[in-house]
Amino acid sequence: MPLQPRPGLRESATFDRHVIHEIQRAAETGIYDIRGWGAKRLLPNFDDLVFLGASMSRYPLEGYRERCATDVTLGTRSAKKPLHLKIPVTIAGMSFGALSAQAKEALGRGATEMGTSTTTGDGGMTPEERHHSQHLVYQYLPSRYGMNPDDLRRADAIEIVLGQGAKPGGGGMLLGQKISDRVAEMRTLPKGIDQRSACRHPDWTGPDDLTIKIEELREITDWEKPIYVKVGASRTYYDVALAVKAGADVIVVDGMQGGTGATQDVFIEHVGIPTLPALRQAVEALNELGMHRKVQLIVSGGIRSGADVAKALAMGADAVSIGTAALIALGCNSPKWQADYEKLGSAAGFYDDYQDGTDPAGIATQDEKLAARLDPVQGGRRLANYLRVLTLEVQTLARACGKSHVLNLEPEDLAALTIEAAAMAKIPLAGTDWIPGIATRGV
Amino acid sequence: MNVIDLSQTTVRELNHALHQLEPTDPGPRWVVREPRGAHAIACGLRVPVTVEIEGHAGYYCAGMNQFATVRVAGNVGVGVAENMMSGFVHVHGNASQSAGATAHGGMLVIDGDASARCGISMKGVDIVVKGSVGHMSGFMAQAGNLVVCGDAGEALGDSIYEARIFVRGKVKDLGADCVEKPMEPEHFSLLKTLLERAGSEAQPEEFRRYGSARRLYRFHIDHASQY
Query: For chain B, what is the mean pLDDT?
Result: 96
More confident residue, B216 or B38: B38
**pLDDT for res A177:** 84
**pLDDT for res B227:** 58
Residue pLDDT, tens place only, B95-150: 999 999 999 999 999 999 999 999 999 999 999 999 999 999 999 999 999 999 99
**pLDDT for res A164:** 95
- pLDDT for B185 beyond 60: yes
Name the residue facing B124 among A30, A188, A196 (closest C-beta).
A188
- pLDDT for A190 beyond 70: yes
Percent of chain A with pLDDT over 90: 86
- pLDDT for A440 beyond 90: no
Q: Which residues contact A115 (CB under 8 A, 6 or more apart)?
A: A85, A86, A87, A134, A135
* A202–B58 CB contact, under 8 Å: no
Residue pLDDT, tens place only, A84-143: 999 999 999 999 999 999 999 999 999 999 999 999 999 899 998 999 999 999 999 999
**pLDDT for res A1:** 47
Residue pLDDT, tens place only, A407-431: 999 999 999 999 999 999 999 999 9
The mean per-residue pLDDT over the stretch A239-266 comes to: 97
Cβ neighbours of A202 in B, within 8 Å = 82, 98, 101-102, 117, 120-121, 139
The mean per-residue pLDDT over the stretch A145-158 comes to: 96
- pLDDT for B224 beyond 70: no
CA–CA gap between residue A202 and residue A142 (Å, rounded): 6
The mean per-residue pLDDT over the stretch A178-190 comes to: 89
Residue pLDDT, tens place only, A380-393: 999 999 999 999 99
CA–CA gap between residue A127 and residue A124 (Å, rounded): 10
Residues in chain A: 443
**H-type helices in A221-344, by residue range?**
236-245, 265-270, 275-288, 306-315, 324-330, 338-343
* A220–B224 CB contact, under 8 Å: no
**pLDDT for res A3:** 59
The mean per-residue pLDDT over the stretch A275-293 comes to: 98
CB neighbour burial string for B33-44, b if at least 16 within 10 angstroms, e if fewer = bebebbbbbbbb
Assess contact for A175 and A184: CB atoms under 8 A.
no
The mean per-residue pLDDT over the stretch A18-35 comes to: 93
The mean per-residue pLDDT over the stretch A40-68 comes to: 93
Bridge partner residues of A90 (DSSP): A321
Name the pTM for this structure: 0.96
**pLDDT for res A65:** 80
Q: Which residues contact A373 (CB under 8 A, 6 or more apart)?
A: A360, A361, A362
Q: State the amino acid at position B121 in one-letter form.
A: S
Lowest mean pLDDT among A301-305, B29-33, B110-114, B216-220: B216-220
Residue pLDDT, tens place only, A255-279: 999 999 999 999 999 999 999 999 9
Mutate to test the interface with B, among A175, A183, A200, A216 (most CBs of B within 10 A): A216
pLDDT bracket for residue A443 (50, 70, 90): very low
Residues of chain A contacting B, Cβ within 8 Å: 29-31, 143-144, 147-150, 152, 175-176, 187-190, 193-194, 196, 198, 202-204, 209, 212-213, 215-216, 219-223
- pLDDT for A172 beyond 90: no
**pLDDT for res A64:** 72
**pLDDT for res A194:** 86
CA quadruple B126, A193, A143, A222: dihedral sign: positive
**pLDDT for res A7:** 86
Query: For chain A, what is the mean pLDDT?
Result: 95
CA–CA gap between residue B2 and residue A226 (Å, rounded): 31
The mean per-residue pLDDT over the stretch A63-92 comes to: 95
Cβ neighbours of B217 in A, within 8 Å = 176, 190, 193-194
B225 interface with A at CB cutoff 8 Å: no
**pLDDT for res B102:** 98
3-state secondary structure of A184: helix
Residue pLDDT, tens place only, B15-64: 999 999 999 888 899 999 999 999 999 999 999 999 999 999 999 999 99
